[in-house]
């Protein structure tokens, strides 16, 4: 009797784990599709042409949780332009998302300003 209960318990745990893995795979796939949509929209924006930055989207069970913009930009003005452009697209297409700034200003610009 104990062995049957143990096998049933292990079976339930395996089923829960498999379901969780499948959900995570779906969340990652959705995040990748949304990232592609965001990158496509930003590619049309001429204010950020030539700047190197990467938007990364994290999706959880409730939908989009956050968009992290990372990269190195030449100046604070360029940083503000990138954040403004990404913020416009996020507000228009991803209303429930939280935008997080991980951009860095290049060291050459900081040394020149000092």
Does the predicted model carry a pTM greater than 0.85?
no
Task: Please report the pLDDT score of residue 84 as a whole number.
Answer: 92
Find out whether 86 and 55 touch, Cβ atoms under 8 Å.
yes
Q: What is the pLDDT of residues 49-90, one digit of tens each?
A: 888 888 888 887 777 678 899 999 999 999 999 999 999 988
Which range marks the domain in which residue 25 is found? 2-113
For residues 67 and 57, give the distance between their C-alpha atoms in angstroms, rounded to a whole number.
Answer: 5
What number is the average pLDDT over the span 5-18?
A: 93
pLDDT at 110 over 80: no
Count CB-CB contacts under 10 A for residue 77.
11
CATH code of the domain in which 7 resides: 3.30.300
pLDDT at 113 over 60: no
């Amino acid at each position: 009797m104990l062995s049957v209960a143990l096998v049933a318990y292990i079976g339930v745990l395996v089923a829960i784990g498999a379901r969780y893995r499948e959900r995570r795979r779906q969340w990652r796939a959705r995040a990748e599709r949304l990232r592609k949509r965001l990158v496509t929209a930003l590619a049309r924006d001429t204010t950020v042409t030539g700047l190197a930055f990467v938007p990364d989207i994290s999706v959880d069970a409730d939908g989009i949780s956050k968009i992290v913009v990372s990269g190195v930009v030449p100046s604070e003005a360029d940083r503000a332009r990138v954040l403004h452009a990404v913020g416009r697209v996020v507000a228009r297409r991803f209303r429930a998302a939280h935008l997080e700034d991980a951009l860095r200003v290049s060291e050459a610009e900081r040394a020149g300003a000092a």
